[in-house]
Structures are given as C-alpha cells and as structure tokens.
C-alpha cells in the first residue's frame, strides 16, 4: 500500500520535470539510464541535470543504481508524477485526493478538476505483486529484452482506456473514460461499492440476471472479461451495476476463451450461492441460470470480422499484454505466437517522449487478420476516435 505523496508536485521546477522526463526517455533503451545520457537528453546547462537528479532522488521519484555504472531509473512515484503532471497540464485534473481502491495491480485515487468535479484516477502497477513472475516470463521470452513495468503498466492503461470507451459505446454500464496518460486512466467516479461488500440484495434475481446478461453482451461483442467477479462489479444503493477493470480482457477467439467465460459465470454463481444465499439453480422463476458460450458468441463472430477490416489495432500489443496477465486457465504462459514482435511493440508502444500520451493507431490493416476478434476491433475503434 503506497501513499501517493503529491507535495513535491508543487515545488518541482520545469527543469526537474525535464530531467525526470529524460530518465523516462532513457529507459526506452536502458533499464538503468547512465547519468551522462540523462544529462545529454535533458540538455541543461552548467551541471543543472545533476542538481535536479539529487532533488528527484530525495523525493523518491528516481532510483539511483551504482552497481554497473552510475545510473538512474524511475520509481512508480516518478512515473505517477509524470502522468499526473501531464493531466494537470492538459487541464483535466487539478488535484489528487484520497486513495479509494487498492487493487492487485493498481492504485485508485480520487482526483479533482478546477470545477470541483471529483473523478477516479487508476494508476496501473503491473509487476508490483508479481514482479518475479513478470521477470521470469520476460527471461523466458527474450533474453536481454528490456521489458519494464513502465511499459507493461502503460499498455494496460492504453488497453483499459480503449475498452472502457468501446464498451460504453456498446451500451455496457462502465465508468466513463475521460482521459489517459502513460499508466494512468482517468474515469468518472462511480457512486457505488464493490458487490463483494454486499451481504443482502433487495432483488437478487434481477441483479443476477443482469450480470449474466452483461457476460452475454460482452461475449456477443467478442469479449471475455476474465476477472468478472464481485470485486469488479460495483453496485449502487438502488442496485444499479457498473462493470470495471478491463486490462485482462481477451477475445472470444482466445484459445481458452470458453473456459475463461465459464470461469467468469461460475464466479458469479458461487458468490450468489455462498455469500448471498441465493442459489440460482433453485430459482424456478430465473430464465437463464448459466448462459452457454457457443450461443452467446455465435452471433458475434461474423460482424466482428467486418469491424476488423477497418481496424489498425496492434495485435502485438494485445499479445504482449496477454502474456503478462493471467489469461491462461492454468495460470501458465499464454500464446507464444508474437515473440518476434516484442521488439517493435516495445519500441512503438513504449514511452513516447515528453507527454507520453500517444496511443498509436497508425499501422493500418497489416495486423488485422481474420482470426482476431472483437476486443481488438473495439479497442481500435476507441483509439481512433480518441
Ligand atoms: P484492479 O485492477 O487493481 O483490481 P480495479 O479497477 O478493480 O483495480 O479497482 C480497484 C477498486 O477501486 C475497485 O474494487 C473499486 O472499489 C475501486 N474503483 C475502481 N474504479 C472505480 C470507479 N470508477 N469508481 C469508484 N470506485 C472505483
Ligand atoms: Mg479489480
């Protein structure tokens, strides 16, 4: 549990941010960025870089590493600062408030804009809880390749933002995606709590049915959520539902899609049975107990193809991300199909210089082969109009 101390945001100078950004840029090619390279990128006169580095280090925004050579890398806090600063500069937020959620691989904060509107900021922290897993996967996948948590967290945020927009466009109840930068996703704050905190429902049948419909709608769009459970469904006092948490979603064309779908369904059934004492199997008035994967998907695959033809989403991004998230039923490694693309995706989806905001949508068509499914098309659509 990390506190996000944003005090220093106020007194850091333009030069400090310039140096912080230089470290970020250097990390594109170095796990630890040589001080001399930071200095070159920052281009400050009279040893200014080193003064700034000292201050950044004191504020825990960078980490100093002397083991091989004199160098620096960003800390999570440093990356947080860059993202928050960019959002502040854009005028979408003006202050950071209390932490409202600690997920497995994210921290969520209340943030505010100048008009006093409160929103939710999700900072992805891939590799926080499972750094060793990430590392061993990385080692397994490509010797010497530089897969930083910055890169992975950024990919997760890009994907989550794109999906949140796309799902809203398809009438799913999700938070409204407002903006994103680096590993941060800005969205509306939902006035609801996780279903996990609820022990009694006014209308369990209605809520249960809506959840099954959501799963069906997603599958109909070509998607499996893969973490559809009582922690990722928010429920309001009037029992309105909002689905959250999308970085692990996969396409229905994923080799494990069926099992993943059924696992999602099972999670809901189990929660209702064990925690709420509502047993779907015993409710004769219930229309669908468990939606069948084939039936809900059948409709989708044909029109997904069409969407794909117009899409330029980067398959390799999805592949890279999938490998690091737990999308395989057995918890093992995901598809190895995209090895050779790791380098280019790292290059292209990695940190894009100073404001780091670009979610590329350029390479039109070349990855859009027909075996892809809806998630890719949706994300692409969202990226292109975003
Ligand atoms: P993780 O991927 O780490 O599980 P989540 O997106 O599930 O992160 O968010 C973690 C917790 O933060 C949620 O369980 C919920 O309590 C809270 N939360 C996340 N997004 C919102 C939001 N838009 N509005 C209100 N609460 C939210
Ligand atoms: Mg969650």
Q: How far is the CA of 282 from the centre of ligand 1 (A)?
A: 32
The answer to whether 332 and 354 have CB atoms below 8 angstroms apart is: no
Going along the chain, which residue ranges are E strands?
33-34, 62-65, 71-74, 95-102, 106-112, 118-124, 177-181, 184-188, 193-194, 223-224, 233-235, 241-243, 250-251
At residue 73 the predicted structure's pLDDT band, cuts being 50, 70 and 90, is very high
What is the dihedral sign for C-alpha 353, 356, 362, 368?
positive
Residue 373 clears pLDDT 60, i.e. is over it: no
| Atom number in ligand 1 closest to CA 193 | 16
For residue 62, give both structure tokens.
């960078």
- Indicate the burial class of 309 (C-beta count within 10 angstroms; 0-12, 13-18, 19 or more): exposed
- Which CATH code, of 1.10.357.10, 3.90.700.10, 3.30.70.580, 1.10.10.10, is assigned to 1-74? 1.10.10.10
For residue 126, give both structure tokens.
């891939």
At residue 374, the pLDDT reads 41
Per-residue pLDDT averaged across 139-146, rounded? 44
Higher-confidence residue of 45 and 147: namely 45
Residue 181 clears pLDDT 50, i.e. is over it: yes
Which residue is it, tokens 């840029």? 25
At residue 372, the pLDDT reads 31
34 in contact with ligand 1, CB cutoff 6 A = no
Query: In testing the pocket of ligand 1, which one of 119, 187, 244 has its CB within 8 Å of the most ligand atoms?
Result: 244
Residue 308 clears pLDDT 70, i.e. is over it: no
Residue extent(s) of CATH 1.10.10.10 domains in the chain: 1-74
At residue 320, the pLDDT reads 58
304 in contact with ligand 1, CB cutoff 6 A = no
Per-residue pLDDT averaged across 154-168, rounded? 90
What strands, in cross-sheet order, belong to the sheet with 33-34? Answer: 33-34, 71-74, 62-65
Residue of the nearest CA to atom 15 in ligand 1? Answer: 101
Higher-confidence residue of 5 and 313: namely 5
Greatest Cα-to-Cα distance within the chain, rounded to the nearest angstrom: 79
Higher-confidence residue of 177 and 345: namely 177
CA distances to 34, 42, 57, 73, 354 from 47, in Å: 15, 11, 16, 19, 21
Rounded percentage of the chain residues whose pLDDT exceeds 70? 71
DSSP states along 180-206? EETTEEEEEPPS-EEGGG-S--S-HHH
Per-residue pLDDT averaged across 217-223, rounded? 87
Q: Which of 80, 227, 342, 375 is catalytic?
A: 227
Q: How far apart are CA 150 and CA 324, in angstroms?
A: 13
Render pLDDT for 311-363 as a digit per residue (tens, 0 to 9): 334 455 566 556 555 444 443 333 333 333 333 333 333 333 323 333 333 33
| Atom number in ligand 1 closest to CA 106 | 3
Helix H, strand E, coil C: the string for 211-238 is HHHHHHHHHHCCEECCCCCCCCEEECCC
Q: How far is the CA of 5 from the centre of ligand 1 (A)?
A: 20
Per-residue pLDDT averaged across 41-67, rounded? 96
Residue 285 clears pLDDT 90, i.e. is over it: yes
Per-residue pLDDT averaged across 166-193, rounded? 95
The tally of CA atoms less than 13 A away on the side-chain side of residue 308 is 22
Per-residue pLDDT averaged across 122-126, rounded? 92
Q: Which fold has domain 194-385?
A: Transferase(Phosphotransferase); domain 1 (1.10.510)
At residue 128 the predicted structure's pLDDT band, cuts being 50, 70 and 90, is low
Q: How far apart are CA 321 and CA 315, in angstroms?
A: 10
Residue extent(s) of CATH 1.10.510.10 domains in the chain: 194-385
Q: How far is the CA of 103 from the centre of ligand 2 (A)?
A: 5
Per-residue pLDDT averaged across 254-281, rounded? 96
Residue 75 clears pLDDT 60, i.e. is over it: yes
The tally of CA atoms less than 13 A away on the side-chain side of residue 381 is 21
At residue 300, the pLDDT reads 57
Rounded percentage of the chain residues whose pLDDT exceeds 90? 56
227 is catalytic: yes
Q: How far is the CA of 241 from the centre of ligand 1 (A)?
A: 13
**pTM (two decimals):** 0.80
Q: How far is the CA of 107 from the centre of ligand 1 (A)?
A: 8
H-helix segments, 254-370:
257-270, 293-298, 300-309, 315-324, 342-349
Q: How far apart are CA 318 and CA 312, in angstroms?
A: 12
- Least confident window among 231-235, 240-244, 281-285, 374-378: 374-378
307 in contact with ligand 1, CB cutoff 6 A = no
190 in contact with ligand 1, CB cutoff 6 A = yes
The answer to whether 223 and 375 have CB atoms below 8 angstroms apart is: yes
Task: Count Cβ neighbours within 10 Å for each residue of 102-123 and write b for 16 or more, e otherwise.
Answer: ebebbbbbbbbbeeeeebbbbb
At residue 172, the pLDDT reads 93
* Beta partners for residue 68, in sequence order: none
Which residue is it, tokens 């989708």? 300
| Atom number in ligand 1 closest to CA 244 | 6
Q: How far apart are CA 103 and CA 101, in angstroms?
A: 6
């Amino acid at each position: 549990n990390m506190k996000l101390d944003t005090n220093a945001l106020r007194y850091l100078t333009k030069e400090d941010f310039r140096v912080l950004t230089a470290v970020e840029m250097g990390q594109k090619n170095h796990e630890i960025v040589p001080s001399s390279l930071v200095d070159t990128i920052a281009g400050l006169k009279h040893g200014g870089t080193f003064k700034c580095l000292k201050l950044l280090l004191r504020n825990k925004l960078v980490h100093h590493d002397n083991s091989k050579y004199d160098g620096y890398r960003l800390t999570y806090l440093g990356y947080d600062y860059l993202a928050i600063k960019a959002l502040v500069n854009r005028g979408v937020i003006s202050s950071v408030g209390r932490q409202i959620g600690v997920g497995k691989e994210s921290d969520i904060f209340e943030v505010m804009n100048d008009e006093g509107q409160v929103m939710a900021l999700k900072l992805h922290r891939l590799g926080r809880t499972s750094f060793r897993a990430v590392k061993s996967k990385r080692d397994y996948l490509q010797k010497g390749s530089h897969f930083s948590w910055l890169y992975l967290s950024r990919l997760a945020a890009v994907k989550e933002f794109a999906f949140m927009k796309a799902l809203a466009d398809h009438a799913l109840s999700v938070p409204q995606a407002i903006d994103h930068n680096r590993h941060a996703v800005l969205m509306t704050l939902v006035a609801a709590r996780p279903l996990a905190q609820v022990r009694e429902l006014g209308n369990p049948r209605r809520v249960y049915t809506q959840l099954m419909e959501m799963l069906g709608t997603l599958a109909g769009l070509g998607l499996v959520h893969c973490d559809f459970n009582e922690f990722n469904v928010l429920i309001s006092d009037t029992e309105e539902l909002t689905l959250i948490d999308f970085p692990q979603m996969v396409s229905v064309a994923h080799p494990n899609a069926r099992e993943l779908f059924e696992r999602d369904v099972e999670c809901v059934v189990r929660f209702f049975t064990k925690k709420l004492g509502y047993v779907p199997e015993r409710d004769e008035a219930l229309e669908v107990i468990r939606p069948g994967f084939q039936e809900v998907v059948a409709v989708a695959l044909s029109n997904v193809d069409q969407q794909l033809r117009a899409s330029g989403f980067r398959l390799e991004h999805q592949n890279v991300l999938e490998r690091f998230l737990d999308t395989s039923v057995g918890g093992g490694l995901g598809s190895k199909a995209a090895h050779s693309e790791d380098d280019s995706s790292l290059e292209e989806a990695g940190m894009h210089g100073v404001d780091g905001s670009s979610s590329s949508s350029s390479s039109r068509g070349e990855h859009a082969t027909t075996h892809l499914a809806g998630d890719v098309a949706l994300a692409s659509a969202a990226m292109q109009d975003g």
